[in-house]
Structure formats: C-alpha cells, structure tokens
Amino acid sequence: MGEIAERYRRRADAFERKVAAVPADQWENQSPCAKWTARDVVEHVVTMHAVMLTPVARTLEPADDPLTAFQEARAAVEDVLDDPIAALTEVDTPTGPMTTERHIDEVVSDDLVVHGWDLARATGQDETMEPVDIDSLWAKAAAIPPELMTKYRTPGAFGEGIEVYGAEVPVPAEAPLQDRLLGLLGREP
C-alpha cells in the first residue's frame, strides 16, 4: 500500500470514528460552516468522494444514514487507491491535470481532517487534529498563490454552490498551528 492510500485510510478511520460517535439528536447541530449542520458536513464529504470516483467510472449508491454513506464512500475510494490503473489514471481538475490518487489526496483526504474538526466542533467531540496533518495542511495552504486563494474564497468560483474556504479569521501569530490553520481556512478556532 502506498503512502497516499495509507494517509487516506488513517484520516478516514479518524473521520469515521467521529461520524459513529454523533448522537442521533445532534445531527442537526450547527457546524462551523455557516450553511451546514453536522449532517451536511458528512453529506459534503460523501459528495466529494463521489466527485473523485466519477473520472474513473465509479459511482456511489445512496445510503439511509450518514455513517453508512461515509463507509460506502470510503470503501469505494479505497478500492480506487488499491487499483493501480484507477489510482494512476490522469484526471482534469480545477488546478490542472493530476493522477486520481493525487486528486484524492489533495481534496478528500485533506477534507477529512478539516471536516473532521467541523464535525467534532458541531457535536462536542475532541477537536484535536493530528500534528502531522496540521503540518501538511499548513504547508499546502501557505503555498497557495494569493490569486488562487482569492478564487478559493470566492463562492461559486469552482461551480454553483461550491465554496472552498471562507474569509480568513484573524488568529494571533503565537497561537497554536492548528488554530492558525483553522483561521487561514476561514474557521473560528
């Protein structure tokens, strides 16, 4: 198993534990994302998994509950990552051509970390991110050119209803890196 697949599985394990821990009466709790409830966070993650599967001719079947929906989406993405032909298939993305596995790594795998925090915040769970993930996401976000960051912060720039990052939230320079990352991504730590 390659590094990308291992990273995805580790992050998916953490996200799945958070989804499984949501009490039934907390699915409608407001998330840090203004337009989303806790349920909406998981639906977004599942939808983005489906987006990753489309270029390699794979689809997801609808599921009745958030945990089952995520488990099925996760299994489908893991199947792609385990298939050398599908994983290495080049796909067009908003940031240019790349392999399917790299696209998964840069979108849904990274999303599992950030949206795992969103789900934890919405449902009162432990909000601590893995230090290795914080370092990785910080390096990636800090390297985004200003003109692309502006596009990421513009609602609808990547399609109707798509908003990648919210407006940056000011965070003190001496704050922990997790807080600075969350602020950069438009979240109130």
Q: Is the Cα dihedral 92, 94, 99, 103 positive or negative?
A: negative
- Helix (H, G, I), strand (E, B), or coil: what is residue 2? coil
- Helix (H, G, I), strand (E, B), or coil: what is residue 143? coil
Q: Is the Cα dihedral 55, 60, 65, 71 positive or negative?
A: negative
Joined together, the tokens standing for residue 142 give 């800090």
pLDDT of residue 69: 98
At residue 14, what is the residue type? A
Q: Where are the beta strands (DSSP E) in the chain?
A: 90-91, 98-99
Whether the pLDDT of residue 177 is over 70: the answer is yes
End-to-end CA distance of the chain: 34
Q: Is the Cα dihedral 138, 157, 95, 40 positive or negative?
A: positive
pLDDT of residue 173: 94
pLDDT of residue 30: 97
Structural domains of the chain in order of their starting residue, each with its CATH number: 1-128 (1.20.120.450), 129-189 (no CATH)
pLDDT of residue 161: 67
pLDDT digits (tens, 9 = 90+) for 26-60: 999 999 988 899 999 999 999 999 999 999 999 99
pTM to 2 decimals? 0.94
Exposure pattern of 130-164 as b/e (b: 16+ CB <10 Å)?
eeebbebbbeebeebeeeebebbbeeeeeeeeebb
pLDDT digits (tens, 9 = 90+) for 136-151: 999 999 998 888 888 8
CA distance 37 to 110: 20
Whether the pLDDT of residue 156 is over 80: the answer is no
Residue 75: pLDDT band (50, 70, 90) is: very high
Residue 63: phi and psi, rounded to 5, are -125, 155
